[in-house]
Structure 1
Amino acid sequence: MRFQVLDGWRGVCALSVALFHLNALGHFHDVGFVRGSYLFVDFFFVLSGFVITHAYLGRIGDAPSAGGFLVRRFGRVWPLHAMVLLAFVPLEVLKALVGGSSEPAFSGQFEPSAFFTNMALLHALGVEKSWTWNIPSWSISAEFFAYVTFAAVCLATRRATARGQTAALTAVSALLAVVGAAVVIGFSDQYIDTSYDYGYFRCLYGFFTGHLVYRLHAASRITASSGGVAPGRPAAGLLAGMEILCLVAVIAFVAASAGNALSLAAPLVFALVVWVFTFEAGPLSRLLATTPFQRLGTWSYSVYMVHALVLAVLQKGASVMQGMLGRPLFTERTVDGTTDRLLFFGDLWAMDLLAVVYLLVVTVLSAITYRFIELPGQAFFNRLLVRMRKPSASMPVQAVPSAAEPEVKTA
């Protein structure tokens, strides 16, 4: 079963995160919704827990099936992550050759030692002291280790699950969601906006909340065998209204929650949104199921992973042009006590146009990387899995359909 509408949501959220990271002084910069769009990484975590449960619940019953699951998930997230990480290297080499930067090449964010922790997907486990290299990729690290945790939980509760008794799995998942939330609340000084330090626990909070949403969805969907409606499924007319309310609530919540304690509720808010839109019953669902939104959903992982590279090229290009033109192309702006260095070409509308062009470039590049990096990467690891062991009845080796593939993604 595909959840096409959730794919559409994922694409919109990925573009919102990309716009959040654009440090340019246009009309978008001070919009509350844009400034809070880093919260959509929590939407990705919740959605990931939902679709991973949908795709693999009851299929991880022994060590080989768990290993196959992890190989497949690694093949889903790592190839593009590795290629984008490698693409940052020539930019640092160029910085060393050209000079003129306030920070030496391969220092600070681009420390060589951090390159290896990034490549090994360890950089959301507290081993780094700041954001490094492809900044949004911290959530890929956190999510992969959430996969490991999910597989371990499935193995620990496999006997009960095999008998159709999933209460143990549900209880452990709820506990992990609470633990993740407790660590973030107790130790993060930026509320939900934690990444390289407590990012794994932030992901646990969202991922296992998503698992619980799937269990709720499974209990409230139409019962095919009886042709009736399971208790808990809202009427179609009510769902249509709930979709509109969810959209308004998300916009208001994201705009109001940036940088404050309200952000800690993000996984819970997005859990409600995911649950409502799994029924695909309203006008917004029909819109999100159209081809443009579906394409964007398909490319969403690439959107999330490549936009920081596009921004790095834009920033370096603007720095070079600034020197050539002899006029400033950057300005400093202080918001909420934080001073940012922002691109500014002298006109707010010109910067708005830059934002639109930037999003178009990211989208086109994402379509290319999806076709030539993501798909071949998945195919390679699927073939590797075939060579590693014979196909298992509990975990067939074909790739999970794209609609069941979770995407991520931060600040």
Structure 2
Amino acid sequence: MHRQRFVVLDGLRGIAAFAVIADHVPSDLVRALIPGRYLAVDFFFILSGFVLCHAYGARLKSEIRTFGFLRLRFIRLYPLYLLGLMLGALHLIYLSAAGYIQVTLSGLTAMTAISLLFLPVPSGVSGQDLLYPLNPPSWSLFSELIANLAYAALAPWLSLRLLLAVLAVSGVAVLHLIPSEPDLGAGWKLSDIHIGIARAMFGFFAGVAIYRARSVFTVPSVPVWLAVGLLALILCAPVPDAARRWFDAVACLVLMPFIILIVQNARAAGRIAKISTWLGLVSYGVYVLHEPIYFWLRSLSGFLGVSGPFEVIDYPLVVGVSALSAWLATRVFDRPMRERLARIGKSEGAKAG
């Protein structure tokens, strides 16, 4: 059976991934141009709920159980997550060997072992408030997996009433928690993990609700320029600091879901379709690899004695290297490893049967 591809949404996901890089690469100019860059993560959560409901919603009611769905998500996410983790761990080893930081072998081993299990690293182990000190952007994957678990567990009974209840509770949680932060760029620390989970729960189930609404009404196609413009408008809006947290709340709870709602049936053809497909292909790799790549580029610039120029070109350089690395890693490492993990899963299932 032919499964519909949401090509324009793929393209927006890639654009959002490149926007997130500005949150981790200290380029004042780019950050000023994209002040709402961290809201791209909320876009990811909503799009994930939409796409996974499209791919597995019906099967979760009968064929696939909770553990089976989590196994599928693990297969999809783990290879590039592992690659990013290893790049981060190797960079920490380099910094220690070069005398820039002090890290014990036992501490590094513990951080790596815990991270290999896709679990947040306790501050008593890392000495930091980061959920994933070896590759900080991994926090959103953990939060999304929590939402995935909730979705799979609730799927057989996920009526409209229950879906609205989940959205109401998680939405109220976001509104309740946001006054404690200057903006919604939270969820990546152990101390604010609850904010990340609230964002993921609302976003993911909002995506599920939007997909389910397709059976009730059809949204007409919109031009690609409008789709890109709406996302750029939210990410780049010059909001005063005093209003930032409340703009972010509206963006998370209303504006980002609205984008997915009206863009879902947008069409692209020719070169635009190819670009959108490529952006979707590299989006996950860009997101999960860009920060360790940035770590290594900074260390390389220091080793070569290049400092001033790097401060000017750091963002475009990290974007370019991350895009190329994500494309290569997806083709050479991610796809083969996912296929192998899928075969292992089928083999184990056959033995168990």
d(CA) in 1 for partners of 2:313, 2:123: 38
Matched, 1:389 2:345: no
* Offset at residue 143 of structure 1 (A): 1.1
* Offset at residue 367 of structure 1 (A): 0.8
SS in 2 for 1:133: coil
Q: Any residues of structure 2 matched to 1:7-406 within 5 Å, and which?
A: 7-25=10-28, 27-31=29-33, 33=34, 35-61=35-61, 65-99=65-99, 101=100, 103-105=101-103, 113-123=110-120, 129-131=129-131, 132-155=133-156, 157=157, 168-188=158-178, 189-190=180-181, 191-195=183-187, 196=189, 197-198=193-194, 199-221=196-218, 233-234=219-220, 239-240=222-223, 247-254=228-235, 255-256=237-238, 259-267=244-252, 268-281=254-267, 285-286=268-269, 289-322=272-305, 329=307, 344-345=308-309, 351-390=311-350
- CA change 1:106–1:273 in 2 (3 A) is farther
* Offset at residue 256 of structure 1 (A): 3.6
| Structure 2: 5+ residue stretches without partners | none
| Structure 1: 5+ residue stretches without partners | 158-167, 222-232, 330-343, 392-411
CA contact under 8 A between 1:184 and 1:202: conserved in structure 2?
yes
CA contact under 8 A between 1:217 and 1:275: conserved in structure 2?
no
d(CA) in 2 for partners of 1:354, 1:130: 23
SS in 2 for 1:193: coil
The structure that is helix-richer by fraction is 2
Number of aligned pairs?
331
TM-score by length of 1: 0.72
SS in 2 for 1:20: coil
CA contact under 8 A between 2:20 and 2:40: conserved in structure 1?
yes
1:294 partner letter: T
* Offset at residue 59 of structure 1 (A): 0.6
- CA change 1:380–1:173 in 2 (3 A) is farther
* Offset at residue 353 of structure 1 (A): 4.0
CA contact under 8 A between 2:25 and 2:294: conserved in structure 1?
yes
1:82 partner letter: L
d(CA) in 2 for partners of 1:120, 1:63: 27
Q: Equivalent pairs: percent with the same residue?
A: 22
* Offset at residue 125 of structure 1 (A): 11
CA contact under 8 A between 1:5 and 1:288: conserved in structure 2?
no
SS in 2 for 1:260: helix
- CA change 1:115–1:368 in 2 (3 A) is same
d(CA) in 1 for partners of 2:288, 2:234: 25
